[in-house]
Amino acid sequence: MNEEYTNIWELYGLKTNPFFTEPLLLFGGDIDLRVGFVGREEEVKRLRNIFGSGGSRIIVYGDVGVGKTTLVNYVRAIMPSNTFFTPLKEIAVQPEWNGGDFILNTLASIYYTIKRRSDLSKAFLSSELIKKLELLIDIVERKDRNISLNIGVVGGGVGSTTTINLPNLTIHSLQIFFEQIVEEIKKVGFKEIILHYNNLDIFETQNLQKIFNSIRDFIQTKDVNFIFIGDLAVPQVINQMKRVSSIMSDSSIFIENLSLNNLKKLLDTRINHLSASGLVSVKPYEDEVISKLYTLYDGNLRFILNSLSTAFNEMVVDTPLILNSELLMRVLSETSRRRWLNKLTDLEKEVLFFILDEGETTNKKIATNLIKQKQNISKITNKLLQLNAIKIKKMEGKEKFFSVVHSIKWILLDKDLKPNKKQKEQPMSIEKEIQQVLKF
């Protein structure tokens, strides 16, 4: 590759990889969220109608990689900024948190937003509230549980020499302080606050129930909208908790995969807005490639984008080669052989294919179906885990349920290839095929 190019995307006249999987940001980012968002009209309408009602609690859920976070970020972005206060980023909830940690990190998110947004000034909060916020943020950042703060009453003249008492830092006192912050924010003209929480899908059922029970009263704070992002299991867990499910504002919002047409439109939008100044942009793929991957992954956006990124990384050249369906299949299927299949014995391949066909399965079921000893199958699944060919999808007691990583599905692309007899005898390498294409 020519040294003048800092990355392959400049070859296509683009600033960066258009197949990124990170959510579009509320502020900043290579693409403005307001122009880079595509589809979801009904879900956007529902969320917009929920906001402005004096506070709400809602779950947005769906499969991994369908765009849940980007959806909520988009709705936060299009709400009137002088009416709705919302933090810069979503709040990533952690499994080890208790109710106090949840509120502390919420306060930290609000504080950093006030501090860093140029259109806001922390001056609209009183000096006492700011000082107490800063002390609380110090607790969050340093994880120093020997430091606490009596925040139940505003007006105590907190200073650097204040005697601080650990027992006073309770969920109740934190909630009172949070309510005071909300009232101060409303005094300068904001009507409501929108808070966006991610990561509920990484919680085990027991921990998720525990934290929601502890924050039940907190999330009923007036004029605050609490939006929780989770996977397909999260609403089921919440619905089993009558005390919590009874305070949810509306039924959970399910996010499906984008339609094929919307996915194509999304990628066209990205390419248009990532065009580098002074360069002529080139669409790096044919539309049939998107259709092929859409079918392979049942429309899962993240898996499609990851596959496209891998394909381009594997076929780097110094000329902007346009990816077509046949080349996509050959690149990804050969990549899967190199990464996994060439490292496996026939029996190991058989186990891998069985897991792929089943969707999710256990060592016991594999052993039964393949008529093998369970301990021998355990050795094979351990090897497949080490090769990152499979993952543990869930646990039921001590029983592990395995599923393949999404990229294993590249193996299936081999079935769509129809090589001629000469190719069957001596398959053309990716490098040779690329050079062959370039000759034309």
Instruction: Tell me whether strands 91-92 and 192-198 are parallel, antiparallel or unpaired.
Output: parallel
As a whole number of angstroms, the distance between CA 334 and CA 340 comes to: 10
Task: Note whether 40-255 and 345-410 share their fold.
Answer: no
Listed residue (48, 47, 7) closest to 30, CA to CA: 7
- Quick one: angle between helices 260-273 and 287-296, nearest 10? 130
Q: What tokens does 105 get?
A: 């990190």
Is the pTM higher than 0.85?
A: no
Which long-range CB contacts under 8 A does 416-424 form with residues at least 24 apart?
416/292, 416/329, 417/326, 417/329, 417/330, 417/333
Helix, strand or coil, per DSSP, at residue 403: strand
As a whole number of angstroms, the distance between CA 256 and CA 174 comes to: 37
As a whole number of angstroms, the distance between CA 219 and CA 421 comes to: 66
Residue 285 contacts residue 323 (beta carbons within 8 Å): yes
Helix, strand or coil, per DSSP, at residue 180: helix
User: Letter for the amino acid at 267?
Assistant: L
Residue 217 contacts residue 226 (beta carbons within 8 Å): no
What is the residue whose two structure tokens read 């606050």?
193
pLDDT at 306: 94
Which long-range CB contacts under 8 A does 94-102 form with residues at least 24 apart?
94/199, 95/202, 95/203, 95/204, 95/207, 97/211, 98/211, 98/214, 99/171, 99/211, 99/214, 99/215, 99/218, 100/169, 100/170, 100/171, 100/174, 102/211, 102/214, 102/215, 102/218
pLDDT at 144: 44
| Residue 198: φ, ψ to 5° | -110, 175
Cβ burial, residue 136 (10 Å; 0-12/13-18/19+): buried
Residue 78 gets the label, from left (phi > 0), alpha (psi -120 to 50) or beta, of: alpha
Each domain of the chain, given as residue ranges in start order, spans: 40-255, 345-410
Calculate the CA dihedral of residues 424, 427, 430, 431 and round it to 10 degrees.
Answer: -150
From first to last of its 440 residues, the chain has per-residue pLDDT tens of 334 445 788 888 888 899 988 887 777 667 777 777 888 889 999 998 888 888 899 999 998 888 899 899 889 888 888 889 999 888 999 888 888 889 988 998 988 888 887 666 666 777 777 788 787 777 766 654 444 444 443 333 333 333 333 345 788 888 988 998 899 888 888 999 999 999 898 888 888 999 999 999 999 999 999 999 998 889 999 998 899 989 888 889 999 999 999 999 999 999 988 888 888 888 999 999 999 999 999 999 999 999 999 999 888 667 788 999 988 998 998 999 899 988 999 999 999 999 998 889 999 999 999 998 988 899 999 999 999 999 988 888 888 999 999 999 998 887 543 433 333 444 554 444 444 444 43
pLDDT at 173: 83
Helices (H), 51-126: 68-78, 99-116
Residue 317 contacts residue 434 (beta carbons within 8 Å): yes
As a whole number of angstroms, the distance between CA 427 and CA 436 comes to: 13
CATH (one of 3.30.420.40, 3.40.50.300, 3.40.47.10, 3.40.190.10) for 40-255: 3.40.50.300
pLDDT at 122: 61
pLDDT at 361: 92
Tens digits of residue pLDDT in 29-68: 677 777 778 888 899 999 988 888 888 999 999 988 888 9
As a whole number of angstroms, the distance between CA 311 and CA 330 comes to: 9
User: Letter for the amino acid at 266?
Assistant: L
As a whole number of angstroms, the distance between CA 340 and CA 347 comes to: 13
Cβ burial, residue 90 (10 Å; 0-12/13-18/19+): buried
CATH annotation of 345-410:
1.10.10.10
Residue 365 contacts residue 396 (beta carbons within 8 Å): no
Q: What tokens does 313 get?
A: 């990384």
| Residue 176: φ, ψ to 5° | -60, -45
Helices (H), 94-239: 99-116, 127-142, 171-187, 205-215, 234-239
User: The dihedral of CA 348, 354, 359, 362: what is its sign?
Assistant: negative
Helix, strand or coil, per DSSP, at residue 221: coil
As a whole number of angstroms, the distance between CA 189 and CA 192 comes to: 9
Tens digits of residue pLDDT in 285-331: 999 999 999 999 999 999 999 999 999 988 866 778 899 998 899 89
Listed residue (28, 30, 32) closest to 20, CA to CA: 30
As a whole number of angstroms, the distance between CA 61 and CA 94 comes to: 17
